[in-house]
Amino acid sequence: MHVELEHLSVEKEGKIARITLDRPERLNAIHHPLTRDLNAVSQLLENDRNVRLITIRGAGRAFCSGIDLKELAKGEIDDRMFPLWEEALRRFETMDKLVICLIDGYAIGGGLQIALASDIRVCTRSAELGLTAIEESILPGLGTWRLPRYVGMGRAKKMNILGNYVDGEEAKRIGLVDHLVDEGEKQQEFEEIIEDYMVVNSAGARLTKQATVESFDRNFEGFLDRYLELQAEAMDDDDFEEAMAAIREDREPEWT
């Protein structure tokens, strides 16, 4: 699959694909063309069997400032964009790769929605995060569905309805982000975190992602059946054999 990208870039390094949102002059604000790019890239990477981990970050001084308010006010953004947007986020959320984002500057509205659809959120302490769609009298997408899963129903209602911001420190305290990094060392510390996840990025890790994504959506009996199915798949994979060999030989595993 070949795609022409206008507002984001993708670089591959071995088993890692790095996505950069690239509208820095608009703080990486979301509009129809960027949404088309993100949707196309999500399809491309979902089907790339050589990629095992994806990173997402923003160019310039923001991760993503959300929907482009200038274009929205001029009527250049309408509800045709939303299905493409949600399809892209759901692919990242459920695909057979680990997805890690680096939040710096603003992660507002759709920017925070991208982060919520990622598996792991890495954040600078001074970043500002919020779902602010209420200011435009619209809903913050499926942030209404994802946010309660991370911060609880009460906090999610407050953030969704008030549209208030939290900084990185508060986001870490309430479970909205997973790792904090220093602004001056963010890239180095981000790479160290990526390496930590690559060390454990076996088929078992990726199937664990699948089970966890589905954990709120099934009753116990249904989830037990799904777990047993995924566990059998994990134990039938070459990575399980490699893990057992590494234990016997007292070495680090090398995932295939």
Q: 114-142: per-residue pLDDT in tens?
A: 999 999 999 999 999 999 999 989 999 99
pTM of the model: 0.94
Answer for the pair 56, 19: CB distance below 8 angstroms, yes or no. Answer: yes
Closest CA to 22 of 60, 52, 48: 60
Local structure of residue 67 (DSSP, 8 states): B
45 and 97 Cβ atoms separated by less than 8 Å: yes
Identify the three-state secondary structure at position 102.
strand
Token pair for 231: 């566990």
Cβ neighbourhood burial of 180 (10 Å; 0-12, 13-18, 19+): middle
Over the stretch 177-197, which tens digit does the pLDDT of each residue have?
999 999 999 999 999 999 999
DSSP 64: B
Q: What does the pLDDT look like over 16-70, one tens digit per residue?
A: 999 999 999 999 999 999 999 999 999 999 999 999 999 999 999 999 999 999 9
Distance CA 189, CA 180 (A): 9
Rg (CA), the chain: 19
Distance CA 106, CA 130 (A): 9
Contact 202, 241 (CB under 8 A): no
Q: Does residue 167 register a pLDDT over 50?
A: yes
